[in-house]
Structure formats: C-alpha cells, structure tokens
Structure 1
Amino acid sequence: MEFYLIDPATKNRFQFPVNPEEVSIRRDKQFETTNILALDEVDFAQGAKIKEISFSSFFPLVHPFDEQAATPNPVEAMNLLTTYMDSKKPVQLLITETGINVLVFISSHSTTLRGGEPGDVYFDITFRTWRELKTRTTLPVGAASPRTDTKQVPKVYNVRSGDTLTAIAKRELGSSAKWSAIYEKNKALIGKDPNRVAPGQKLVMP
C-alpha cells in the first residue's frame, strides 16, 4: 500500500515515505437547523456531508526500514503540505490497494517534534473531499416563466418570370383583387409602377 498526493496541474507525485498505521474516514449526515417561529429548533436532513479522511505518520530524516531509500527532506515535505493547504485548488489523494482516489483539500495538519529523534517530523493531517459546486437559477415566487416568442414569420414569395401582382395574389391569397395588399406591403421594393415586378424579387405576403 502506498500513499500519494498528486498535483492535477503538473502531475507531480509526492509519496508519503512511511505508511500510517490506520486511516480514518468520516461520513456524517449533514443537517440544517432552522428555528420555527422562535419556539423550537427543527433539523432537516440535507444529504451526505463531505467526508473527511485523516491519518498520522511522520517524515523521517533517515528511512527507518531502508537507510538507502530516498526520502523527502522533512521540513520541505511539511512546507509542501502547507502549500497545498493554502492553495485554492484541490489535489488528488491516492491510496493504492484501496478505493481511495479522490480530489481533496487539506483542511488541517499539525506538526510534532519529539526529543531523541532529531530531524524527524511527526504530523497529523486531515483531508476533505472536494465537490464541484453546481448552481441553478430559480425564479422568485410568483414570477412568470420566460415565454417563447410565438410571433409568426411572414411568408415570402419569390417572383418568377411572367408573374404579375394579380396572378400572385390569386395564386397565393386566393383572389386577384388582393394585389393591392401585396403592393402596399412591398412598395419600396417594387417602385411606383405595380405592374413592374422582376424575377428574383422576394415579396412579403400580407
């Protein structure tokens, strides 16, 4: 079993040199306490609380099981943990041979120096699992929902060779007498003479 902190941005891996004797995982039910009419307090369940993962170990000046093994400098290792704790970005906690492989924040860590063990740094560390915040917009009570624009798109007729306004009116509107309505709608395009429509012109139907 190995314990790692991985920086998601750089992919740098930091391995804890000495495995802790135990890992504590805390899961609580989160409750919201609301005062009802100032008479009593009522707890409402809000779902699973963000879990905490904690353990204790130490950074040895010399590895206790293998003096030839490379170990991080204890002071530099603690400084790295402090940097991660102060960062606003999560890091990845990986504990091999377990199901723990999650993004976390370091919520706290403490240091202990023991007499007779010069250079070794003992620590307690607590992680809180990271959860992306998702927001949604809600309308105030009584507010109307946005309405879809139901305005009709006007019909456009593409003038063909040989067309006249009377012929178009009869074909599209059912009566040749409605040619004047087409002309009034498209006077700027047709011009002063309603009898002169050109192929390719796009006339808006009334």
Structure 2
Amino acid sequence: MAYKLYLDGVLFPVAPSKVTVKINNQNETVTLINEGEANILKAAGLSDVEFDLLLPNAEYPFALYPQKFRNAKFYLDKLEELKVQKKSFQYIMTRAFPNEKKLFHTNMTVSLEDYSIVDDAGEGFDTTVKIKLKQYREFITKTCTVDISLPKPQAAMQQTRAAGNAPSGGSYTVVSGDCLWKIAKQFYGDGGKWSVIYNANKSVIGGNPNLIYPGQVLTIPAA
C-alpha cells in the first residue's frame, strides 16, 4: 500500500482515501483613524486534520497488519483510550509510490478532538470512523514577580519640578513598539500613570489596554 497511517504508534489497517488539513488563520484586521484598515499578521493557528477511516471486521488482502489480524474493536478501543486519557500523540502519514519510492511524510503532534463511529450497510460488516484531529503545541506558563515594596522615607528636601516642565497635554500617534506604560513614561516621567492615558482614550483603544496599534492617535491629558 502506498500510504500508511499511524496514530500514537499504531498502524491502522487501511489508510484514508482522503485527508483534509486546514491551516487556521489568526491575522487580525483593525480600523485606524483616518487611515483605513490595516492587517496585523500573526502566527498561524493550530491546524485541523480530518479524514474517514475504514476498520475491517474481516481480513482483506489490501489491509495491513504488522503481526496478526485485528478487528475493528481493537482500533476503536485505541481511539477511546486516546480520548479518555486526554493525551497528545503523533499523527504520522507516510507516502510512497507503488514501487516504494518515497514521497514526503507528515509527522505532527495532535490531540483527538471529535470522532464518529458509523455502521453503514453499504460497508457490510465493516466499521467507518470519521475523525478530527487538532495540532498540539506544548506551552509553558511564565511567572512574573513584581516588587511592590515601598521605599523607606528619607529626610531630604523635596524637589519641585518647574511648572514649565509639566506636560501640557496634547495628542500622540502610536508607533510600532509602543505600549501605554512607555508613552506614560515619555510624557509624565512615570510609566505607572498609563491608566490616565487609557481612561482618556477608551473609545479608541477598546476594552484591552494592552492592545494599541501603530497609527492610533491618543489624547494625552495634562499632568
């Protein structure tokens, strides 16, 4: 057989006649003030893999069994195990010409999402399974420690900033790499005042103060 399918190291007897792999998009289109639309390019989302499998209940010459014949229940039990144990596994599809000349292979870490078991009179005593897999990526939770200890009071003369140096307000156009903390640091000398800028620009920024985009024009309140 030219194509072979392995799920979690188990060779399934009949490779699917059709496999659909969907590479999902995560790009985001935003509307800029007086600048039309802009497309923010992001990394591709997790891919979806869908196919139908034939699980024979009789031994056919075109079906592959590494050691001995296994009926449909053996493979259905394997699918149930993958779902119940909530584990990721390898989806491997090998491809070759009938003369065994190799084509490209697919080796992807996936999770088992949906699967439907179909008993169809048209398939005789065999079982068909509709399977949907989703690409799986390992992730690590990062921990950020913030020091909130207050400085000890010092008996020192208070330095008053000259009135001429206080920010008088105005507007600012966001450039690449900006965040509200950085802008507050630039205008007020204190990044902790980012909320002052955010509260004055909620209608422009939206509900998430961490998402600002190049080209947005922000109002900078006076200090």
Q: Percent identity?
A: 24
**Residue of structure 2 in register with 1:2 after alignment:** 4
Aligned counterpart for 1:47 among listed residues 43, 49, 54: 43
**Residue of structure 2 in register with 1:106 after alignment:** 112
Matched residues in 2 for 1:22 and 1:117: separation? 17
Q: Deviations over 1:131-162 (max 9, x none)?
A: 0112223467xx679xxxxxxxxxxxxxxxxx
3-state SS of paired residue (1:47): coil
**Residue of structure 2 in register with 1:181 after alignment:** none
Q: Does structure 1 retain, via aligned residues, the 8 Å contact 2:16–2:53?
A: yes
Summarize the alignment of residues 80-95 of structure 1 with structure 2, pairs less than 5 Å apart: 80-95=78-93
3-state SS of paired residue (1:18): coil
What are the ranges of 5 or more consecutive residues in structure 2 without an aligned counterpart?
31-37, 96-103, 150-223
Deviates more, 1:66-75 or 1:83-92: 66-75
How many residues end up aligned between the 2 structures?
Answer: 130
Summarize the alignment of residues 68-147 of structure 1 with structure 2, pairs less than 5 Å apart: 70-97=68-95, 98-115=104-121, 117-138=123-144
Q: Deviations over 1:1-28 (max 9, x none)?
A: 211122xxxxxx3111111111111111
Matched residues in 2 for 1:23 and 1:67: separation? 18
TM-score, structure 2 length as denominator? 0.49
Aligned counterpart for 1:30 among listed residues 26, 33, 43: 26
Change (3 A) 1:31 1:82: farther
Change (3 A) 1:87 1:43: farther
1:26 partner amino acid: K
Change (3 A) 1:103 1:122: same
Q: Deviations over 1:97-134 (max 9, x none)?
A: 33311221111111110115443110111111110112
Change (3 A) 1:43 1:144: farther
Change (3 A) 1:104 1:68: closer
Summarize the alignment of residues 158-197 of structure 1 with structure 2, pairs less than 5 Å apart: none
TM-score, structure 1 length as denominator? 0.53
